[in-house]
Structure 1
Amino acid sequence: MAMLGVRLAMGRLFEMSAGLGRPSRTYSTSPSFAEVLRLPKRQLTKLVYPLQELEQYLVPDSRPDLHLRIFDPSLEDIARSENFFAATAANRIEYLSSAVRLSHAPEFPRPEVCFIGRSNVGKSSLIKALFSLAPEVEVRVSKKPGHTKKMNFFKVGKYFILVDMPGYGYRAPEDFVDMVEAYLKERRNLKRTFLLVDSVVGITENDKIAVEMCEEFALPYVMVLTKIDKSSKGHLLKQILQIQKFVNTKTQGCFPQLFPVSTVTYSGIHLLKCFIVNVTGNLNGSHFR
């Protein structure tokens, strides 16, 4: 698709409404990984490796549709990754600034990851869950969709920057197109884009436009499936298989493994943290296969 087409697609992301959605939920307390390691094996697998836990519910001939264990870190490395997200005197985790255009964004010679998704997909809730070991960091989560109007930058120690992008679709900011397109296209230290998809709803037309944008800009990106606690196992498996098929057949730049998460049960959060630390170059050794 030509660059003009991308800009038109970005405009559609701004214009298309994803609906009012549901009110946000309260958070549970994130368990420390030391507590997680003391859980029975089945509970540990469900919490840390939700895709792996779901595999047992698949009929044998459908198993090839799920790409399991492509990112396969050890429990030891997941535990090491937790330290990057724990606020200490030597590891300050803090909000840096907000920006409505790239020229206003803070400049740091550090790897950067960003989170994008439609309004009410649970983006700010996920970032709040990632920062649960740094409770002094304020990540505002509103009951109304479309709360995030600017690019919000958070510094994770001396290691990397995490960016909360405005949501597309319902109540997107007026300058959404210029803001997001410029950032994704020109941000040189951007290492990975995390595209959030509501696992209850599945991939929407807005999400498909966001995928086109990532593909056009040749961005390495990942699909994170949010709200997995809101579905029955049968519905969740159906959505995962459909989304996995979409990734396998319709994308080139998307990492082939899906990351299902819940900010209520914290399922998948520890693995996602480890993936972030890995793609920003802060975890020795490769865990992709």
Structure 2
Amino acid sequence: MLRLQRMARLLGTNCLRRRHSATLRSSTKNASFSEVLQLEDKKLMGIVFPLQGLEKYLAPDVNTSTFRIFNPSLHDIHRAEALFIPCGKHVIDYFSSAIRMDHTPQLLQPEVCFLGRSNVGKSSLIKALFSLAPDVEVKVSKTPGHTKKMNFFRVGKFFTLVDMPGYGYRAPQDFVEMVEAYLQERSNLKRIFLLVDGLVGFQKADHIAIDMLEEFGIPYVLVLTKIDKASKGVLIKNVLEIQDFVKEQTQGCFPQLFPVSSIEYSGIHLLRCFIAHVTGNLPIMNS
């Protein structure tokens, strides 16, 4: 609670003004939660909770209890957004890159890491998360395997976000050595966000990554990307298959899946809130 109070004092009224101006500057609709809150209820819920929006298409006997394990209020989601808006002493920036553990920055704040196949939309997702910090440079390329290093982004004094190279097609030659060393040695790592392509679902390389995380005993969560590009049928099929797999074959995976669209910002606000929560910056009583 004390940490949360310090955050509120740090971000203060200047951030409220910056939040408004950032929303006006943004050319992407729904990037700001303040903008989303102006939508009609049905549209709002679809943007904020896309997993719950699929319920009406499911058979009555489908278990949807895992759809609401992390179930913050709209107020909590709005509070979490403040972490992703730079102002005053709260600086959000690209910090450094590394190809080996001895090159990584020694940062004390909690850390989250984004991992996934090449071309899964990892850099696009990180860019969407930082959309209210337009000065943060997140390079997005149409060429698979664009990210070759571990890229570290500081979110003030509150947490660090790490963009890892993609695995599979066009992965860096030393990918295994780089990633395994990071996962085993990074003591302030709080959660791995493992991205799965919503158009194709689980691939062989994804299963290998999950086996690695399970072996290392690292808490992780699955994020389903590109949901705006998948048909409802394909999306539901992949969601249910992933849900069954997590229940039956994993120990360290958070039971709830996080579907997102980096284009329409569906699920982005909830994911921001989850990141704020798992890094210890946003206590939520009912989650």
TM-score (norm 2): 0.89
CA distance in 2, matches of 1:150, 1:139: 13
CA distance in 1, matches of 2:65, 2:228: 19
CA distance in 2, matches of 1:139, 1:195: 18
Which residue number corresponds to residue 45 of structure 1? 45
CA distance in 1, matches of 2:30, 2:137: 16
Matches within 5 A, 1:238-277: 238-277=237-276
Which residue number corresponds to residue 7 of structure 1? none
SS in 2 for 1:162: strand
Identity %: 64
1:139-168 per-residue CA deviation (whole Å, 9 max, x = no partner) reads 001110000000000000110000000000
SS in 1 for 2:54: helix
Tell me how large the CA RMSD over aligned residues is: 1.1
Gap runs ≥5 in structure 1: 1-26
Structure 1 contact 101–179 (Cα < 8 Å) conserved: yes
CA distance in 2, matches of 1:287, 1:197: 27
CA distance in 2, matches of 1:239, 1:108: 37
1:90-133 per-residue CA deviation (whole Å, 9 max, x = no partner) reads 21000110000111100111000000000000000000000000
Provide closer, same or farther for how the CA distance between residues 57 and 214 of structure 1 changes in structure 2, counting only shifts above 3 A.
same
CA distance in 1, matches of 2:198, 2:130: 22
Which residue number corresponds to residue 34 of structure 1? 34
Structure 2 contact 76–284 (Cα < 8 Å) conserved: no
CA distance in 2, matches of 1:30, 1:102: 37
Aligned residues, how many?
Answer: 261
CA displacement at 1:179 relative to structure 2: 0.4
Matches within 5 A, 1:93-104: 93-104=92-103
Gap runs ≥5 in structure 2: 1-26
Structure 1 contact 215–251 (Cα < 8 Å) conserved: yes
Provide closer, same or farther for how the CA distance between residues 83 and 77 of structure 1 changes in structure 2, counting only shifts above 3 A.
same
TM-score (norm 1): 0.88
CA distance in 1, matches of 2:212, 2:241: 21
Check if 1:187 corresponds to 2:186.
yes
Check if 1:234 corresponds to 2:250.
no
Check if 1:160 corresponds to 2:130.
no
SS in 2 for 1:155: strand
CA distance in 1, matches of 2:275, 2:286: 12
Matches within 5 A, 1:1-289: 28-62=28-62, 64=63, 67-288=66-287
Letter matched to residue 129 of structure 1 = A
SS in 1 for 2:222: strand
SS in 1 for 2:96: strand
